[in-house]
């Protein structure tokens, strides 16, 4: 038998259906020579300090730095995880060949290889590598299985990333907490988390330190066109009034008039970060929620693999484009002009040299149904229209530059008109794009001739300087992508992605972690550092921990490991050296204990002391079924925040007995409750017993 291991049950069902493994078993499917089983995302994790030695459970400066040799992995402590792993372990022992069907990315590779390592797999292993979950894609993937060795560098990069995050996170968090946190506060430090927070704090300090200044500008109106004086802003009203008097004494003269026709390039296809940026800008969606919606669309087979960092398509996809466009029934008016003629094979869209693991996010040939949530429909619409827009002609524009003068003072004005909409046709009905178009054309400029003169109406414009803008999730994601550098040009941004901080798939979680730690807060769409976050960054003297550029260099090395151009062990040794030096330097610093009580709420999750509170913060607990979303408290149950996609819930009342939140927590985290009494509505008339979580995450009552 061949054993296929998918990353979650829903994907396993799709694969099993295609392979003909249609007999459901306990924890797997069987049929046609295949076993198809699954993980729940991460089944394994790196061992914690106390797993290496019990004395490391207490946080003590004298035990730092903690550097395991070698690093070990362990099963996540969860009854459901342990049951599923035993099934996988037995199937691995009994099969002839393993097919790794995990998510086709760095994290997916690490998840699967850790499980296979823990199961002591010695069987021949192949890799399924697909970019969508459609039946056609799965069949094509199984027809072209790759040797597992082809993805060894990918695994080594992911494993090095995990080890690097462990080394810095464990040691720096313990180091700063014991040195500066007092007895109550945990100061959380992370390889990507801390430089991201540092960027927010730096921006906030720039805003706080900004002194607003008044300024005055000279303008004039000639033939119904507003011209701006091409001189520095005036710092006093008196100078402006003198300038105004001077302008009134002279005629306006046209110096030059120039019209240049140009083209506005098509927008690029979406990578994950660009999609998160656009969804935040248009709909106010958080990066985490956008990832959740596009992941759901992928699992429903409507879009391709989302956790990507390229905006290009593989050249081999070109023949499939007409079929995808043809299947997009809801957009037939927009796709008709493209399908009426040969589709251009532009290097701006199809370029194998710009595609690594996966291509950009695009629709599949399976159109969505009406059952999608409102949010999923909005995200699909973004992806669909961007996919259509890249195959339209470029937008043709004209740029007008007029230069004039009044006496010795130079003036100029510019104008921009759209001559042919081109790709903008796709968005013409959208309000925000129409507003942008109107703004582009708000000043119509007539034809001028050099040398013409005439009377004009000069005026003074008074304004105030503005501070830098606070980050939104959209601009913060862009800053993470470019390691804090302000980059507007798409091509330059594409080149800088290798040095961005974090990966597209992890940036949303980094931002959410900062929110959970109370280091940042959201005010409308803007993100600000709390006093806790500012104090933490001010406490950290070592620039290595705070620098987006240096963190970007680490990311670049991880990508080189992925390409086989850098040794994973060398990366690990560099981090060990850094952590060792950091520990020595901080221990020798003069301690300044910082109070974080202003930000700490009763609900705050504190580490490493086990939480002892009567109210459980469900938003901090992971869903045990999908492992991707948090739990939330509803009116009748505790359930997955993505209940429609996942389906997991534990009702407050089971078999006639009202459960406490602590009993529900035991079921979720331990897989079972203690022995309970008082059941009044059990179909087999049981009145006492233990509530257990089954393999398919239902609740059953067993007499014990």
Asked if residue 399 lies in contact with residue 416, where contact means CB atoms within 8 angstroms, the answer is yes
643 catalytic per annotation? no
CB within 8 Å of 321: residues ≥ 6 apart: 343, 391
pLDDT at 547: 85
Candidate list 34, 293, 305, 380, residue with the active-site label: 305
Residue % of the chain over a pLDDT of 90: 63
- Is 1.10.460.10 the CATH classification of the domain at 183-208+469-587? yes
At 366-424, the pLDDT tens digits run 999 878 999 999 999 999 999 999 999 999 999 999 999 999 999 999 998 899 999 99
More confident: 662 or 212: 212
In DSSP notation, 649-696 reads EEESEETTEEPPHHHHHHHHHHSB---EE-----TT---EEEEEE-TT
CATH topology (fold) of 2-144: Rossmann fold (3.40.50)
Look at 212-226, 236-250, 383-397, 606-620 and tell me which has the smallest mean pLDDT.
606-620
Segments making up each domain of the chain, as ranges: 2-144, 183-208+469-587, 214-266+395-464, 272-389, 618-702
Look at 134-138, 407-411, 500-504 and tell me which has the smallest mean pLDDT.
500-504
CATH no. of 272-389: 1.10.290.10
Highest mean pLDDT pick, 211-215, 353-357, 438-442: 211-215
Of 317, 272, 331, the closest CA to residue 497 belongs to: 272
Strand order in the sheet with 23-25: 23-25, 28-31, 34-38, 2-6, 97-101, 125-127, 146-147
Give the confidence band of 6 by pLDDT, cuts at 50, 70, 90: very high
Cα distance between residue 503 and residue 509, in whole Å: 10
pLDDT at 434: 41
Mean pLDDT to the nearest integer, 56-61? 90
pLDDT higher than threshold 60 for residue 578: yes
Mean pLDDT to the nearest integer, 607-612? 33
pLDDT higher than threshold 60 for residue 234: yes
Cα distance between residue 360 and residue 349, in whole Å: 9
461 by Cβ neighbours in 10 Å (0-12 / 13-18 / 19+) ranks as middle
pLDDT higher than threshold 80 for residue 653: yes
* 3-state secondary structure at position 103: coil
Taking CA atoms, 78 is separated from 10, 44, 173, 267, in Å, by: 20, 11, 25, 45
Q: What is the 3-state secondary structure (H, E, C) of 428-495?
A: CCCHHHHHHHHHHCCCCCCCCCCCCEECCEEEEEEEECCCCCCEEHHHHHHHHHCCCCCCCCHHHHHH
Q: What is the mean pLDDT of the chain?
A: 88
pLDDT at 436: 47
Cα distance between residue 130 and residue 105, in whole Å: 10
pLDDT higher than threshold 90 for residue 197: yes
CATH class of 214-266+395-464: mainly beta
Backbone angles phi, psi at 27, to 5 degrees: 90, 5
Q: Angle at Cα 535 formed by Cα 534 and Cα 541, nearest 5°? A: 100
**Hey, how many other C-beta atoms are within 10 angstroms of the C-beta on 680?**
9
More confident: 602 or 699: 699
pLDDT higher than threshold 80 for residue 442: no
pLDDT higher than threshold 50 for residue 679: yes
Give the confidence band of 441 by pLDDT, cuts at 50, 70, 90: very low
More confident: 116 or 638: 116
Taking CA atoms, 437 is separated from 224, 428, 429, in Å, by: 21, 9, 11
């Amino acid at each position: 038998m061949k054993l296929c291991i998918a990353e979650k049950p829903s994907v396993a069902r799709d694969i099993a259906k295609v392979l003909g493994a249609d007999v459901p078993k306990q924890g797997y499917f069987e049929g046609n020579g295949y076993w198809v089983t699954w993980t729940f995302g991460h089944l394994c994790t790196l061992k914690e300090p106390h797993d290496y030695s019990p004395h490391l459970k207490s946080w003590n400066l004298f035990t730092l730095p903690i550097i395991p040799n070698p690093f070990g992995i362990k099963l996540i402590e969860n009854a459901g995880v342990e049951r599923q792993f035993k099934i996988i372990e037995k199937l691995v022992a009994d099969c002839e060949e393993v097919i790794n069907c995990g998510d086709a990315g760095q994290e997916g590779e690490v998840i699967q290889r850790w499980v296979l390592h823990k199961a002591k797999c010695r069987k021949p292993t192949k890799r399924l590598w697909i970019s969508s979950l459609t039946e056609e894609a799965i069949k094509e993937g199984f027809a072209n299985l790759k040797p597992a060795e082809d993805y060894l560098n990918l695994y080594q990069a992911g494993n090095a990333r995990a080890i690097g995050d462990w080394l810095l996170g464990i040691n720096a968090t313990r180091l700063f907490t014991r040195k500066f946190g007092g007895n109550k506060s945990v100061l959380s430090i992370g390889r990507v988390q801390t430089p991201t927070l540092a960027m927010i704090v730096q921006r906030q300090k720039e805003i706080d330190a900004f002194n607003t200044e008044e300024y005055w500008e000279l303008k004039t109106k000639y033939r119904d066109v507003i011209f701006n004086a091409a001189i520095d802003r005036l710092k006093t009203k008196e100078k402006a009034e003198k300038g105004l008097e001077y302008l009134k004494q002279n005629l306006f003269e046209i110096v030059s008039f120039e019209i240049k026709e140009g083209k506005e390039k098509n927008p690029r296809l979406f990578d994950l970060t660009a999609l998160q940026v656009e969804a935040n800008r248009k709909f106010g969606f958080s990066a985490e929620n956008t990832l959740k919606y596009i992941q759901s669309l992928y699992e429903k087979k409507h879009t391709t693999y989302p956790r990507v960092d390229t905006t290009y398509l593989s050249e081999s996809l070109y023949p499939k484009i007409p079929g995808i466009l043809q299947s997009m029934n809801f957009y037939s008016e927009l796709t008709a002009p493209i399908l009426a003629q040969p589709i251009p094979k532009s290097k701006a869209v199809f370029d194998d040299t710009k595609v690594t693991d996966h291509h950009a996010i695009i629709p599949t040939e399976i159109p969505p149904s009406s059952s999608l949530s409102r949010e999923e429909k909005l995200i699909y619409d973004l992806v669909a229209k961007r996919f259509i827009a890249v195959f339209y002609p470029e937008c043709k524009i004209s740029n007008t530059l007029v230069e004039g003068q009044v006496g010795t003072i130079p003036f100029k004005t510019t104008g921009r008109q759209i001559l042919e909409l081109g790709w903008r046709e796709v968005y013409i009905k959208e309000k925000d794009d129409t507003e942008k178009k109107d703004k582009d054309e708000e000043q119509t400029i007539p034809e001028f001739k050099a040398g013409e003169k005439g009377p004009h109406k000069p005026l003074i414009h008074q304004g105030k300087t503005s501070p830098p803008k606070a980050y939104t999730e959209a601009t913060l994601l862009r800053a993470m992508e470019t390691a804090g550098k302000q980059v507007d040009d798409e091509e330059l941004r594409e080149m800088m992605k290798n040095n961005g901080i974090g990966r597209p798939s992890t940036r949303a979680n980094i931002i959410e972690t900062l929110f959970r730690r109370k280091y940042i807060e959201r005010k409308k769409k803007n993100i600000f550092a709390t006093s806790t976050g500012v104090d933490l960054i001010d406490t950290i003297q070592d620039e290595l921990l705070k620098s987006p550029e240096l963190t970007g260099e680490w990311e670049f090395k991880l990508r080189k490991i992925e390409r086989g151009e850098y040794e994973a062990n060398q990366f690990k040794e560099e981090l060990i050296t850094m952590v060792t030096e950091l520990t020595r330097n901080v221990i020798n610093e003069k301690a300044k204990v910082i109070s974080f009580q202003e930000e700490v709420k009763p609900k705050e999750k504190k580490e490493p002391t086990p939480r002892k509170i009567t109210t459980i913060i469900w938003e901090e607990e992971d869903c045990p079924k999908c492992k991707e979303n948090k739990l939330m408290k509803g009116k009748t149950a505790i359930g997955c925040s993505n209940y429609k996609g996942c389906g997991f819930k534990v009702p407050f009342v089971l078999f006639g007995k009202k459960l406490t939140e602590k009993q529900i927590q035991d079921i979720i985290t331990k897989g079972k409750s203690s022995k309970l009494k008082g059941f009044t509505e059990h179909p087999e008339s049981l009145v006492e017993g233990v509530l257990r979580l089954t393999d398919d995450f239902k609740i059953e009552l067993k007499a014990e």
